[in-house]
Chain A
């Protein structure tokens, strides 16, 4: 089988950069608040001057929490057939961002709160004959 084409699940949210996988967001030059996805303006009510610049976040993070998606969710969620429970997490990144993401692991039960993770850009499903693979940001336990 020829290699499937990797299609981003959404445009402009993440990228493989020369330094590795990154989330694409913004940061306020005035108050340092990070935003993901990109924001046009700073939403911090205590910030004196909204002044946003592009920012890339990653790859390091720590699981603020984690859980398991145990039932096959409705569209547009993409997963391997037959459905197998997968892990999700809420990850604190050193840039001050707390971000949701799927956890890339074969053993969702082993994922722990406080665990170190690393940002990756990988397919949400690898099964099937489709010529396209939908890829998204995910976090891989270290």
Chain B
């Protein structure tokens, strides 16, 4: 397999843009990535795109086709990848393989999304064959309630406090305030977060990511092309995808077997584990991580589940400021989902952009000093997950 370089990074800022068509949002990201790579649209030999359930794609998830038509139909192959909120990460994986395999020298990966209002209703079906419908009809447990269950369990196991949870949101905004692409850049105090509305005890409004509109694009190329454009390109040390294991103890519908060990999102742990193994690095070698923080809970649980720190250590690291860009284990220097909101299928690529900028040393006031190795992780409905390790 050939080495793959991350040559171009582009993003449309995250926000709510009711007047702006999705094509325009995607075009901003695509043109920024092409310009960053010093390439033209004509140079793109294939497109891997994240399929959306919420916007564009002609109702079939053909979001890559929308982008190609908008940019100019050159006849390029388009791969539309569906993996819930991990779709951007999955598309990145396919894009990497298209270059690594030698099939194509320049590949664009793109994800763009305009989200409906309110918390995500995951299916939209009204049918007893649909577990999500049953969960709402028979129990009444929307997504935030599920995150609250995981959080409450952690509180009981490790003594996590409501103030700890609030402090993670405070930290997210401390770094996100420096990110011009982030939607929520205001600073909060712990008291502000604790005063925000309780959504699902123990989780409050500012501790849960809202939905946003946004788009991100990445240009991948062979090492040969990258060397013509830059002296020290960011490269892909590893890209992996995974699905959940049967016995991880996390019910995806109404119930699951209790399982053997501690309940955790096995899909994320497997994807990250594979990525680290392929990159031939240990979890402690990672200089920064962009992880999927739909809620503050994941910033505590994921680093432990992946071996970035010890079980039960996350709270003390966070309290000591070690998860800030200047700390020992920088987490989400972009500001994360808490500051961006979730433009579901674009999230996996916004992470790649942030990790790429960090490795280039181009992250200004949120820069992780001397970052050489960065991890990006996304998680999606259906037990999907993706992870990538970038290096410089």
Listed in ascending order, the chain A residues whose CB lies under 8 Å from chain B are 9-11, 13, 25, 33-37, 43-45, 64-71, 73-79, 85-86, 88-90, 92, 96-102, 108-109, 113-114, 124, 136-137
Contact = CB atoms under 8 A, between A and B. Distances in A.
B128 A71 contact: no
Interface string B164-204: 00000000000000000000000000000000011111110
A11 B138 CA distance: 10
21 contacts: A10-B137, A35-B255, A36-B255, A44-B257, A65-B149, A65-B150, A65-B152, A66-B152, A67-B148, A68-B201, A69-B140, A70-B197, A76-B137, A78-B137, A88-B141, A88-B145, A98-B251, A98-B255, A100-B251, A102-B140, A113-B155
B140 A44 contact: no
Interface string B120-138: 0100001010000111111
Contacts of B319: none
B246 interface: yes
Contacts of A100: 135, 139, 141, 251, 254-255
Given A65-B156, A70-B199, A97 B136 contact: no
B257 A76 contact: no
Contacts of B257: 33-34, 44, 96-98
Contacts of B152: 65-67, 113
B227 interface: no
- Interface size classification for chain B: 35 or more
Given A65-B149, A70-B199, A71-B199, 10 more contacts: A64-B153, A66-B152, A75-B136, A76-B137, A78-B140, A85-B201, A88-B141, A88-B145, A96-B258, A99-B254
Contact of B148 (A68, A74, A76, A136): A68
A77 B149 contact: no
B246 A86 contact: no
A89 B149 contact: yes
B153 A113 contact: yes
B137 A73 contact: no
Contacts of B135: 100
Contacts of B136: 73, 75-77
A105 B136 CA distance: 19
Contacts of B66: none
Contacts of A102: 139-141
Most central of B126, B151, B200 by chain A CB within 10 Å: B200
Contact of B140 (A11, A13, A73): A73
Nearest to B118: A74
B247 interface: yes
Contact of A74 (B121, B128, B138): B121
Contacts of A35: 255
A98 B201 contact: no
Closest 7 CB pairs of A and B: A67-B148, A77-B140, A113-B156, A68-B201, A65-B153, A99-B255, A36-B255
Contacts of A90: 149, 153, 251
Contacts of B256: 97-98
A52 to B, nearest CB: 14
Contacts of A86: 140
